[in-house]
Chains A and B, each alone.
Chain A
Amino acid sequence: MDLSELLAIAEHENALRRPICIRCCTALGCQSAGSLSLKQRLEEAVAEVDRTDIEVIGVGCMGLCGHGPLVRIDPAGILYEHVHAADAPSIVAALDGGEATAPRGDPQHPFFTLQKRIVLENSGVIDPERIESYIAAGGYQALYHVLHDMTPAEVIDVVTRSGLRGRGGAGYPTGLKWATVAKSHGDRKYVVCNADEGDPGAFMDRSIIESDPHKVLEGMAIAAYAVGADQGYVYVRAEYPLAIQRLQRAIAQARRFGLLGAQIFDAGFTFRVDIRVGAGAFVCGEETALMASIEGRRGQPRPRPPYPAESGLWGRPTLVNNVETFANIPPIIRNGAEWFASIGAENSKGTKVFALTGKIRHTGLIEVPMGVTLRQIVEDMGGGVPEGKVKAVQTGGPSGGCIPAALLDTPVDYESLQRVGSIMGSGGMVVMDDATNMVDVAHFYMEFCKDESCGKCIPCRTGTAQMLHMLDLIRSGQATAADLARLEQLCIMVKETSLCGLGQSAPNPVLSTMKYFREEYEALVRG
């Protein structure tokens, strides 16, 4: 494969396009609402009217998951929501004027217009099951450019100057991590994509893989070239069967096209990717536990240092980045570091994908520039809560905190969210209305952490169980004010002494709700 062949594939693919395109979402959310049979009915309806100027393609996530299945007619830009298979003939008939039986969505709603799509640029546009569709959208050109026109040091320099930070939650500068792996010595190096997304209410990484798997693979290949790795692993949780299936298909296609494997683009660069499927442990999202799991050992973390960049898989230098981080790489290479650095906030460049869920009108997947406020996301894009008022927004899953409605003007960037006692996290955003009891919320997350603690270190194993017990006492009215103080002390101890991120952040939901909603705890306390 060389550039002219790549461009020829793109050209051929574009020539196949028909004037009218009916895009039907086939990501997991819409599939579970029946979008596969809908897509089939749409194809049949097009065949029945015998029109060759119309095509139906299955695409990835369009974002507004709560209103699925979604269908969009391009280039007219007409959006249909809650579409049933029975609506298919009327949707095709409506192409000649008239109204379809399915409700119309509003593509000009702030939910769509306030987004800035970099990671999700192809999501809901291309067919994730066909590599040609990705190539037609300019895919794999960044990889070609990197392999032929750039040295590894130049690639790292671009990523560093772009200001990209890890999208898995902690926000470690990506360029710095790449440079460390590149400088570490090892007879082999590895690149690992962390797709073990486990926060309750989070589905960003799943959607990215389901909607645009090649973009993640291209990002990994560029990273492998930059750090000197020849083997990659994608660690996906077993609960994501569709993502695994699409990723498998994507890897097979890329190998067939010579875009993965030996001698990619005839540039003397070899990179193979394998999938490793998790077995249902949340802690395996922690990088050292994840690597232990890939090696076939019990998935539990170990102390760092040594960091994976120095001593990772089988003791060799290993680059571990999150799905969304890798998906940012091809656009950064294509458009340049300055372009990326011009988007977003001071110390948080680019965009962030959020899974907007909870008590909110428009549930779904959004990508916004860093620095927009929580209020814009919740009230403008999400349409606010259906009944009552917003009480709090939870970010960062069980590692994050609850941000009260009074702080909704907090901008979404790593530092600001930390300042108010939460974290950016991987992108789960759960909106709560005033019917929500915050002690119950803390209890929910603590139960999750207690169940997911691996049991290796004492503070996390025994601390989460004890914190949960104390929250039980509080909820059942058996706790005293002294118990509240002891719970707080316990939280701080577990936070400061636990071995890995799970334990270090497990107390956050309790601490943040105690900070902002203390009266709800005190109301339950005896005497």
Chain B
Amino acid sequence: MAARTFTINDQLISAREGETILQAAREHGIFIPTLCYLDGVSAVGACRLCLVEIEGSRVLRPACVTPVVEEMVVRTDTGRLREYRRMIVELLFAERNHVCAVCVANGHCELQDLAIAVGMDHVRFDYAFPRCDVDISHPLFGIDHNRCVLCTRCVRVCDEVEGVHTWDVAGRGADARVITDMRQPWGEARSCTSCGKCVLACPTGAIFRRGATVGEMERDRNKIAYIVAAREQRW
């Protein structure tokens, strides 16, 4: 496999052929914020937090799906990118009802971590305060749409790793919701195997183990990549 050499933030970096900018950056300890990206499932480039500047490119590119090209010059932390990332996180907080103080994921939440990482000390936009449902019809798990950021990690892990495709997205724009089966309550979704991978994958407290109290939702997300790697090794 051929190697590629390129530059991130004035630092020369080597990468394997076919690796994305995000993978190469992480290997070298360079932080690029992400939300929809999850090791083990396909990348969709939806959250736009990992956008980077590439010299010679007119537009910003998502690091999670952009392969490294020899001698590429990448910037991951310019003033413009910092401002855009902060705005995107603010918009997420304003979109639904994220109240950390009463959330099972408090302290173990990627959205919360992101807010800290991008320096979001307050939200400059008006909150939408939409009415969102909570579904606790499943005996083991629940989903609180107030905390969902529509990253679709649950959809992808369910489809690609568990191979079930219980989760999907219905509706459009601000009305979009992750749904189980044909939008029936999760407890009535016959395809669900109760494997719990969606709980592992969820970046926030939207999909949770029932009975977990505030601050209790610790998850080992590496498990998903581990399962995928284990299968590849066996075959």
- Seen from chain A, the residues whose Cβ lies within 8 Å of a Cβ on chain B are 281, 298, 302-303, 450-459, 461-466, 469, 473, 486, 489-490, 493, 496-499
* Residue B132 lies at the interface, judged by CB distance under 8 Å to chain A: no
Query: Are the CB atoms of B87 and A455 closer together than 8 Å?
Result: no
Please indicate the chain B residues that have their CB under 8 angstroms from the CB of A457 in the complex.
45-48
Query: Are the CB atoms of B125 and A466 closer together than 8 Å?
Result: yes
Query: Are the CB atoms of A490 and B87 closer together than 8 Å?
Result: yes
Please indicate the chain A residues that have their CB under 8 angstroms from the CB of B35 in the complex.
458
Contact of A450 among B44, B65, B84, B173 (CB under 8 A): B173
Question: In the complex, A459 Cα to B60 Cα: how many Å?
Answer: 13
Query: Are the CB atoms of B48 and A454 closer together than 8 Å?
Result: no
* Residue B79 lies at the interface, judged by CB distance under 8 Å to chain A: no
Which single residue of chain B is at the shortest CB-CB distance from A456?
B46
Which single residue of chain B is at the shortest CB-CB distance from A468?
B174
A418 nearest CB across to chain B (Å): 13
Query: Are the CB atoms of A466 and B172 closer together than 8 Å?
Result: no
Query: Are the CB atoms of B48 and A499 closer together than 8 Å?
Result: yes
Query: Are the CB atoms of A497 and B169 closer together than 8 Å?
Result: no
Query: Are the CB atoms of B128 and A451 closer together than 8 Å?
Result: no
Please indicate the chain B residues that have their CB under 8 angstroms from the CB of A451 in the complex.
172-173
Are A455 and B84 CB-contacts (below 8 A) given A466-B125, A497-B48, A497-B51?
A: no
Number of B residues, CB within 8 Å of A: 35
Query: Are the CB atoms of A469 and B128 closer together than 8 Å?
Result: yes
Q: How many A-B residue pairs have CB under 8 A?
A: 95
Are A455 and B48 CB-contacts (below 8 A) given A461-B150, A465-B128, A490-B87?
A: no
Please indicate the chain B residues that have their CB under 8 angstroms from the CB of A453 in the complex.
172-174
* Residue B12 lies at the interface, judged by CB distance under 8 Å to chain A: no
Instruction: Give 3 closest A-B pairs by Cβ, nearest first.
Output: A455-B176, A462-B91, A453-B173
Are A463 and B65 CB-contacts (below 8 A) given A453-B173, A457-B46, A493-B84?
A: no
* Residue B26 lies at the interface, judged by CB distance under 8 Å to chain A: no
With most chain B CB atoms within 10 A of its CB, the pick from A458, A486, A499 is: A458
Query: Are the CB atoms of A462 and B95 closer together than 8 Å?
Result: yes
Query: Are the CB atoms of A458 and B172 closer together than 8 Å?
Result: no
- Give me 20 other A-B pairs in contact (C-beta within 8 A), A455-B174, A461-B176, A466-B126 excluded: A302-B45, A303-B45, A452-B173, A453-B173, A455-B150, A456-B46, A457-B47, A458-B46, A458-B88, A458-B91, A459-B48, A461-B95, A461-B174, A462-B88, A462-B91, A462-B174, A464-B173, A465-B128, A496-B59, A497-B51
Question: In the complex, A490 Cα to B126 Cα: how many Å?
Answer: 13
* Residue B164 lies at the interface, judged by CB distance under 8 Å to chain A: no
Query: Are the CB atoms of A496 and B84 closer together than 8 Å?
Result: yes
B interface secondary structure, majority: loop
B165 nearest CB across to chain A (Å): 11
A-B contact list, 27 entries, CB within 8 Å:
A302-B45, A303-B44, A451-B172, A451-B173, A453-B174, A455-B169, A455-B173, A455-B174, A455-B176, A456-B152, A457-B45, A457-B47, A459-B48, A461-B95, A461-B174, A462-B88, A462-B95, A463-B91, A465-B174, A466-B126, A469-B128, A490-B125, A496-B60, A497-B48, A497-B51, A497-B60, A499-B48
* Residue B124 lies at the interface, judged by CB distance under 8 Å to chain A: yes
Please indicate the chain A residues that have their CB under 8 angstroms from the CB of B62 in the complex.
303
Which single residue of chain A is at the shortest CB-CB distance from B93?
A462
* Residue B92 lies at the interface, judged by CB distance under 8 Å to chain A: yes
B87 nearest CB across to chain A (Å): 5
Query: Are the CB atoms of A498 and B172 closer together than 8 Å?
Result: no
Please indicate the chain A residues that have their CB under 8 angstroms from the CB of B49 in the complex.
458
With most chain B CB atoms within 10 A of its CB, the pick from A450, A459, A486, A498 is: A459
Which single residue of chain A is at the shortest CB-CB distance from B173?
A453
* Residue B161 lies at the interface, judged by CB distance under 8 Å to chain A: no
Query: Are the CB atoms of B126 and A454 closer together than 8 Å?
Result: no
Would you give the 0/1 interface string for B116-128, flagging 1 where the beta carbon is closer than 8 Å to chain A?
0000000011101
Please indicate the chain B residues that have their CB under 8 angstroms from the CB of A303 in the complex.
44-45, 62, 65
Question: In the complex, A465 Cα to B174 Cα: how many Å?
Answer: 7
Within 8 A of A (CB), among B123-162: 124-126, 128, 149-150, 152
Query: Are the CB atoms of A298 and B169 closer together than 8 Å?
Result: yes
Query: Are the CB atoms of A455 and B171 closer together than 8 Å?
Result: yes
Please indicate the chain A residues that have their CB under 8 angstroms from the CB of B51 in the complex.
497
* Residue B181 lies at the interface, judged by CB distance under 8 Å to chain A: no
Please indicate the chain A residues that have their CB under 8 angstroms from the CB of B172 in the complex.
281, 451-455
Please indicate the chain B residues that have their CB under 8 angstroms from the CB of A463 in the complex.
91
A423 nearest CB across to chain B (Å): 15
Question: In the complex, A464 Cα to B94 Cα: how many Å?
Answer: 13
Question: In the complex, A403 Cα to B97 Cα: how many Å?
Answer: 40
Are A461 and B126 CB-contacts (below 8 A) given A466-B94, A496-B59, A496-B60?
A: no
Please indicate the chain A residues that have their CB under 8 angstroms from the CB of B65 in the complex.
303
A111 nearest CB across to chain B (Å): 39
Question: In the complex, A465 Cα to B176 Cα: how many Å?
Answer: 13
Query: Are the CB atoms of B173 and A458 closer together than 8 Å?
Result: no
B139 nearest CB across to chain A (Å): 29
Please indicate the chain A residues that have their CB under 8 angstroms from the CB of B47 in the complex.
457-458
Would you give the 0/1 interface string for B160-204, flagging 1 where the beta carbon is closer than 8 Å to chain A?
000000001101111110000000000000000000000000000
Question: In the complex, A452 Cα to B172 Cα: how many Å?
Answer: 7
Within 8 A of A (CB), among B16-53: 35, 44-49, 51
Please indicate the chain B residues that have their CB under 8 angstroms from the CB of A459 in the complex.
48, 88, 91
Which single residue of chain B is at the shortest CB-CB distance from A461?
B173
Are A298 and B173 CB-contacts (below 8 A) given A303-B65, A497-B88?
A: no
